[in-house]
Chains A and B, each alone.
Chain A
Amino acid sequence: MPEHQEKSIVQSIERMSPSVYRLTLHAPLIAGEARPGQFAMVACGSTLDPLLRRPVSIHQCSADGRLQLVFKVVGRGTQLLSEIRAGQTLDLLGPLGRGFRLSPGPVALIGGGIGIAPLLFLAQSLMQTGQADGSCRVLLGAQSGEDLAPLAAGFETLGCDVELATDDGSLGRHGLITDLLPAHLPNLGKVYACGPHPMMAAVAALCASAQVDCEVSLEAHMACGLGACLGCAAPGADGRYKHVCKHGPVFKAAEVAWTTR
């Protein structure tokens, strides 16, 4: 599956919540080949500062060349990206990395915050291919309802069973989304997780003790996204470094050396 450097055209940019934006792009080369869990390296500005592209997971894409990216403003690069407007071009590199491996049987998707973004693409693929046997449990959490509601939209219409939790209790259950997982584990064939490191570490531990397969999507600072700079190292359970861009970003949870940080 070849990577492309593609000058995409911005069709729209929407502010989903105070710091989260959704970009809709015309990027037929990347949209035509992207798989759930893959990402793109996005050139956020047109000058040499900030210098490096930013990795952004693929939120949705369609056969007509439409590609959606959802990102959170966390620094100068993503701030610049939030200022782009419809009609402008955006230089992308993608699709990159190893995505989720779809396997048959009942599944749960568990997402936290901006980590929810790539799970919609995964849910679409699971439901469209019938892999989930019609049983796709989706557990989504964020700090507040304002953050969570726009990211959680779209799962129910796919036929997923959605449960929500927020840190402040303003939407869904008051507490951590991981608290909702144990009740479902006995009925699951596989769990897919994307979110903050502590959330994924907790999911990995729960799945390990219930002997349920689990895949996680990791995040890392990266310079190239191509496996060349070796900057995105993450410690593996085998004591060797994995490169998030190439070996991942999606890993089997058992491959990752989980830390409590």
Chain B
Amino acid sequence: MDNAMTIPSPPDLRVALGPLALANPVMTASGTFGYAAEFANLVHLNRLGGVVVKGISLEPRAGNPPPRIFETAAGMLNAIGLENVGVKRFISDKMPYLRTCGCRIVVNILGDSIDDYAALAGQLSAVAGIDALEVNISCPNVKNGGVAFGTAPEMAAAVTRAVKQETDLPVIVKLSPNVTDIVVMARAVAESGADALSLINTLIGMGIDARTRRPRLANVIGGLSGPAIKPVALRMVWQVASAVSIPIIGIGGIGTAEDAIEFLLAGATAVQVGTANFYNPGATEQIIDGIADYLRQQGESSVQAIIGGLRLGA
């Protein structure tokens, strides 16, 4: 009994993204964690706040020709081309395993038209074991793909409304950083009924091989991710958090608990770990433990206490 009293209770890591309650704020970012089974031997999936699966389209997509990736200074470029198995095979082949993971399952959806997004939302709403949808309006890789939705506020708003109309699941809209003012996009989506925002997707970049004078990616341009983009992501999360009232999921170069905490202080309610899953498969669990350690050190009993806790001024 005496012993029990000297052990402080562990910090409360629970957060809520609107109607979506998470055991802790650490999720995996779409496209960096497959359909979770790929990491089953390396990560205790039931410890994660949530898994966001690889983006799903109505029909399977083959993806881009290689080379698809190129390493840059503290980052990487990718032009995978939205390769995925399509919604039918996702439901039949991938969902049975995902239901056993013991954490929140968020399905990232992408399409070429508003009708595509609506149809995906409708089909996935009928599937057991899905906790939320994340709408990818920002992937820059496919020429006729989502890029227009992610850069035009009225289009982003229309997609959000269409998805909300077709589903009762919580809807997260993932924003592109490749815009003049991300706050305009965030407001448009929030006013259209999104339950939460996730940001940022990759920054469009390019690599060139000087020796061969050829582009590093077959697609020529691709999305930059990894530690290199963290300051940009942090700035955008802070700006959006200051402008909208719905919860935000911070994404961009998060590889350590300290990175994650910076996003929480900037106003994010949760975070997604992306590229770090590639170079350190244990990153997510280390971040969860690290956030708890930080809260203990700071004398906080709950992670809620630090969300938006950035100190400004003297």
Query: Which residues of A come within 8 Å of B, CB atoms?
Result: 2-5, 43, 48-53, 93, 220-224, 226-235, 240-241
Contacts and interface: CB of A to CB of B under 8 A. Distances in A.
Nearest to B32: A228
- Chain A binding site: helix, strand, loop or mixed by DSSP? loop
A233 B66 contact: yes
Interface in B236-277: 255, 275, 277
A233 B65 CA distance: 7
Contact of A240 (B62, B67, B280): B62
A35 to B, nearest CB: 16
The 3 closest A-B pairs by CB, nearest first: A231-B69, A228-B34, A2-B41
Contacts of B275: 51, 223
B75 A229 contact: no
Given A48-B227, A52-B278, 6 more contacts: A5-B282, A53-B279, A93-B281, A224-B32, A231-B69, A240-B62
A233 B66 CA distance: 6
Contacts of B282: 5
6 contacts: A49-B74, A222-B69, A226-B34, A228-B33, A230-B83, A233-B68
A195 B282 CA distance: 32
B38 A231 contact: no
A51 B277 contact: no
A4 B41 contact: yes
Contacts of A234: 66
Nearest to A2: B41
Contact of B69 (A223, A226, A227): A223
Contacts of A4: 41-42
A44 B66 CA distance: 24
Contacts of A93: 42, 281
A51 B63 contact: no
A229 B65 contact: no
B151 to A, nearest CB: 25
Given A43-B279, A48-B227, A224-B277, A229 B66 contact: no
A229 B276 CA distance: 11
Interface of B: 31-34, 38-39, 41-42, 54, 62-71, 73-76, 78, 80, 83, 226-227, 255, 275, 277-282
A56 B66 CA distance: 20
A110 B186 CA distance: 57
A17 B32 CA distance: 37
A51 B33 contact: no
A230 B41 contact: no
B39 A226 contact: yes
Contacts of A48: 74, 226-227, 255
Given A48-B227, A233-B65, A228 B278 contact: yes
B83 A221 contact: no
B76 A223 contact: yes
Given A3-B41, A4-B41, A228-B38, A241 B63 contact: yes
B28 to A, nearest CB: 9
A241 B31 CA distance: 17
B226 A51 contact: yes
A230 B68 CA distance: 8
Contacts of A51: 71, 74-76, 226-227, 275, 279
A245 to B, nearest CB: 10
Contact of B70 (A221, A224, A228, A240): A221
A52 B74 CA distance: 9
Contact of A5 (B64, B83, B227, B281): B281
Nearest to A244: B66
Contacts of A229: 31-32, 69, 78, 80, 278
